[in-house]
Structure 1
């Protein structure tokens, strides 16, 4: 991913969030939560992420390095992109193996979960060159290997509602997220990614 583009994206989403909190969220009958973009991950955090998850997509590492975590609890239904500590501390469950989703795919797909929305869906990027982004709705992490089982690992059980492609790449996902935040800032519109 282009560094200048990511830096500009971070500034744009932060500006749209500030506008949304000021113009829309401030009219809600409750105190707004903390809305944060960044800070970028430290070199130590990135090194640990790469060390423990050497297969993590470069595009996701670039977002962590240049933008950092994104926490927008009151924007639409909420949008969140995780920092390396959260990915390693909460989502990294086993011995160096990526997570997988099975159904509805003909063959299992290796993924890294990197975000969520306020409705309980997770966002995951596939490993490899393409880096397709999927929404996992009503998915449960299945340590018993419900959809797929490694001898030492696990997978996401997506048999209830399933998996939806959100964007062909992380770059396109970021554009969709920015557009959703800007639409919300304009008039409170909620746009499904």
Structure 2
């Protein structure tokens, strides 16, 4: 069933980045006490001229969903190795490299998805042109994908909630 989803807005993404960065700040100093090992580098890297260029190249290469273009207009990549088992939104250059190597991900009966993220367990996240986000059922590129979020915004909100749950 195709459900119309509101498209991602760059101002919302910018606000989300600020909220996530603020939520991570107090979490990391207490991480060592809680987990008995030091935290990794948990960061939201904002877009640069270089990442904008890589996004343009990605657009030329793939059937990139508009929400992913919007996301990459604001961020370059996100690394959250210490949130649950880890969340990583790959840079547009990495997404392009993976697309060249593996192609699009087949996600259910929707259009092929573009893999843009992974978790610390090796599961992949792909976004289809509909805006839905899919998660691989195993740590393999060509296995089945299941629905993870109805939109990129919902996917990002899920990550925010996982950060809040860890506080």
TM norm structure 2: 0.84
Instruction: Give the one of 43, 49, 53 matched to 2:58.
Output: 49
Q: Which residue of structure 1 aligns with residue 88 of structure 2? A: 80
Task: Determine if contact 1:20/1:75 at 8 Å carries over to the other structure.
Answer: no
Q: Deviations over 1:93-138 (max 9, x none)?
A: 26xxx51326xx4x464001111111221111112xx311111021
Offset at 1:20? 2.0
For residue 110 of structure 1, give the secondary structure of its aligned residue in structure 2. coil
Offset at 1:182? 1.4
Instruction: Give the one of 123, 126, 151 matched to 1:124.
Output: 126
Instruction: Give the one of 87, 93, 101 matched to 2:106.
Output: 101
Instruction: Give the one of 146, 150, 156 matched to 1:164.
Output: 146
Distance 1:164 1:173 in 2: 13
Greater Cα shift, 77-86 or 41-50: 41-50
Instruction: Give the one of 97, 114, 117 matched to 1:115.
Output: 117
For residue 68 of structure 1, give the secondary structure of its aligned residue in structure 2. strand
Larger Rg: 1
For residue 72 of structure 2, give the secondary structure of its aligned residue in structure 1. helix
**Pairing 1:23-42 to 2, within 5 Å after superposition:** 23=30, 25-27=31-33, 28-42=35-49
Q: Which residue of structure 2 aligns with residue 134 of structure 1? A: 134
**Runs of 4+ residues deviating >6 angstroms:** none
For residue 76 of structure 2, give the secondary structure of its aligned residue in structure 1. coil
Which one has the bigger helix percentage? 2
Offset at 1:26? 2.5
> Relative to structure 1, is the Cα distance of residues 91 and 36 closer, same or farther in structure 2, using a 3 angstrom cutoff?
farther
Distance 1:183 1:108 in 2: 32
Distance 2:137 2:43 in 1: 24
Instruction: Give the one of 73, 77, 97 matched to 1:89.
Output: 97
Tell me the number of residue pairs that the alignment of Structure 1 and Structure 2 aligns.
157
Offset at 1:57? 0.8
Gaps of 5+ in 2: 1-7
Q: Deviations over 1:19-61 (max 9, x none)?
A: 22123x23222222111201214332222111222x2011111
TM norm structure 1: 0.74
Offset at 1:164? 2.4
